[in-house]
Amino acid sequence: MKAYKTTESSLNIIIVGCGKIGQNLAAQLNEQGNNVTVIDLSPEKVSEVSTRCDVMGIVGNGAVHAVQAEAGIATADLLIAVTGSDELNLLCCLIAKKSGNCRTIARVKRPEYSDDTDFFKNELELAMVINPEYAAAEEIHRVLRFPAAQKIDTFAGGRVELVKFRLPEGSPLAGMSVRDVVPKLHCDVLICTVERGNDAYIAKADFVFEERDVISLIASPKAAAAFFTKIAYKTHPVRDVLIAGGGKTAHYLSRMLLDDGVSVKIIEKSEEVCDELCTLFPEATIIHGNAGDKEILLEEGIENAGAFVALTNLDEENILLSMLARSYGSGKIVTKVNRFDFSDLIGHLDLDTVIYPKNISSDMIVRYARAMTNTIGSNVETLYNIIQGKIEASEFIVKENAPLLDVPLSELQFRDNVLVASILRGKQVIIPRGHDRILAGDRVVIVSEQMKLHDISDVLR
């Protein structure tokens, strides 16, 4: 049995499955000071992950009690099953609950199981069921409803939004400083971060915007909409969507869009998949053809589509199709990419919104694990990567004994590159200025460089 070295704020975590999600989780959770053990049937994968991420590794079937026992299930706080098999993941979690009574998370991605998510959670006592394709569809759905954004994250039950967008050429914001935004535009928003090339910045008052900057702001949905109207940015939701590829993500996304009354057209090269889609979505238009064929895309209206979403199984094809869509049309473009190692290259391409399903799932799990390591003073409710590996946003619920209560923000001594981005007090959304104060019970969103904030008091010097 594995023996852990524990601290008050560390978790004992077992990850079953060393695929892309498992590898990413092992790296992130280990970096946050947790004790991580990975399990996989492949000796090569276990060796690679344990060496690269500096974690313990065990070769074996994670659904076998003896293997889990060797990994330390008796003292584990959390088991995460992210193998390629839904059934195996559920069995791993069931055995873990019976063996060690730890919390469990399972990846379940097949569409036929989507209606059973609550059943699995309740009957198997799962902490969370992760479906990367469904999570990706939800994120795509959000940006299609608000096409000005590259990405939208929500806090406080949707009452606060973190919106990422790129400044177009000729934007009225170009040449304006951060401190000028509110008095000149009369919008209740807070600029959080700016990405320029490979550099990322916490937005300070004297920072001056340039064309092509990627900006993240925090606001209520109503205030965000008013802001984009004032900078003449397209804000109306799309009414028709052309989708390349008819896989799981397209399946989930189509249902969401059709329920909103959006016109959906899917191009899929598998005749069998087309037949299935026709049965499931009779109100959609299903085209049997190769979305990689420029003539088919033109024939099916890519030039006039409100949005084009590239969801084939090949990252390279999705990127090329999106670039083609950009050259022929003017609609919103969304590109699905599975590989994490493409992110630096993709950042230099004009691809509008890029969705990483495996990254979304990893972030959701890391967010949950961070919430489990809460210490006194506050609770980490939500955690989002605004700029992967550089800047994150954390949501806290502030408790009675937090050290920064009822002091004007301008009088607090914050650490460098920390920004109080929003305060939710009851139903009131406060975009904070220097005179505002944090009170017990407030939900507070903090934007910071990645510095492992476990408690809201960590933002102070």
- CATH code at position 182: 3.30.70.1450
331 with 410, same domain?
no
Tokens of 31: 């970096």
Q: What CATH number has the domain bearing residue 73?
A: 3.40.50.720
pTM, entire model: 0.81
Residue 58 lies in a domain: yes
Question: Domain check: are 244 and 257 in the same one?
Answer: yes
311: left (phi over 0), alpha (psi -120 to 50) or beta: alpha
Q: Report pLDDT for 310.
A: 96
Q: Are residues 226 and 329 in the same domain?
A: no
- Selection from 71, 69, 85 nearest residue 15 by Cα: 71
Q: Is 5 inside any structural domain?
A: no
Whole-number Å distance between alpha carbons of 170 and 423: 33
For residue 328 the two structure tokens come to 């022929």
> Is 6 within the bounds of a domain?
no
Same domain, 254 and 315: yes
**CA 177 – CA 430 distance, rounded (Å):** 22
Query: What does each C-alpha distance from 42 to 58, 62, 91 come to in angstroms?
Result: 10, 12, 19
Query: Per the domain annotation, does 1 fall within a domain?
Result: no
Task: Check residue 37 and give its pLDDT.
Answer: 97
Residues 262 and 191 in one domain: no
Q: Which of 203, 230, 257 is the last residue of a domain?
A: 230
Instruction: Provide the CA 311 distance to its chain's centre, in angstroms.
Output: 17
345, 360, 375 - which closes a domain: 360
Q: Which domain holds residue 99?
A: 12-130
| Contact (CB, 8 A) for 444 and 456 | yes
Residues 390 and 455 in one domain: yes
Distance, in Å, from the CA atom of 222 to the CA atom of 220, rounded to the nearest integer, reads 5
Of the three residues 312, 331, 360, the one that is the final residue of a domain is 360
Residue 3 lies in a domain: no
Q: Do 314 and 218 sit in the same domain of this protein?
A: no
- On whether residue 252 sits in a domain, the answer given is yes
| Residues 245 and 333 reside in one and the same domain | yes
Our count of domains for the chain comes to 4
243 forms bridges with which residues in the sheet?
Answer: 266, 309
Each of the 461 residues of the chain gets a pLDDT tens digit; together they read 444 444 456 899 999 999 989 999 999 899 888 999 999 999 999 999 999 999 999 999 999 999 999 999 999 999 999 999 999 999 999 999 988 889 999 999 888 888 888 898 889 899 999 998 999 999 999 889 888 888 888 877 778 888 898 888 888 889 999 999 888 988 889 999 998 888 888 888 899 999 889 999 988 888 888 888 888 886 678 899 999 999 999 999 999 999 999 999 999 999 999 999 999 999 999 999 998 888 999 999 999 999 999 999 999 999 999 999 988 888 899 999 987 666 667 766 777 888 988 888 888 898 788 777 654 444 666 777 777 778 888 888 888 888 888 999 999 888 888 889 889 898 888 988 889 999 998 989 888 886 666 677 888 88
| Residue at token pair 């090949």 | 314
Query: What was the pLDDT predicted at 348?
Result: 66
288 shares a domain with 191: no
Rounded to the nearest 5°, which phi and psi values hold at 291?
-65, -15
For residue 273, give both structure tokens: 């998949």
**Position 4 in a domain:** no
CB atoms within 10 A of CB 173: 24
pLDDT of residue 388: 74
Return left, alpha or beta for 452; rule: phi > 0 is left, psi -120 to 50 is alpha, else beta: left
Answer yes or no: is 50 within a domain: yes
- HEC assignment per residue over the chain: CCCCCCCCCCCEEEEECCCHHHHHHHHHHHHCCCEEEEEECCHHHHHHHHHHHCCEEEECCCCCHHHHHHHCHHHCCEEEECCCCHHHHHHHHHHHHHHHCCEEEEECCCHHHHHHHHHHHHHCCCCEEECHHHHHHHHHHHHHHCCCCCEEEEEHHHCEEEEEEECCCCCCCCCCEHHHHHHHHCCCCEEEEEEECCEEEECCCCCECCCCCEEEEEECHHHHHHHHHHCCCCCCCCCEEEEECCCHHHHHHHHHHHHCCCEEEEEECCHHHHHHHHHHCCCCEEEECCCCCHHHHHHCCCCCCCEEEECCCCHHHHHHHHHHHHHHCCCEEEEECCCHHHHHHHCCCCCCEEECHHHHHHHHHHHHHHHHCCCCCEEEEEEEEEECCCEEEEEEEECCCCCCECCCHHHCCECCCEEEEEEEECCEEECCCCCCCECCCCEEEEEEECCCCCCHHHHEC
319 and 414 within one domain: no
412 plus 369 within the same structural domain: yes
Annotate 52-67 with b (16+ C-beta within 10 A) or e (fewer): ebebbbbebbbbeeeb
**Is residue 448 located within the same domain as residue 350?**
no
Kind of pairing between the strands at 103-107 and 78-81:
parallel
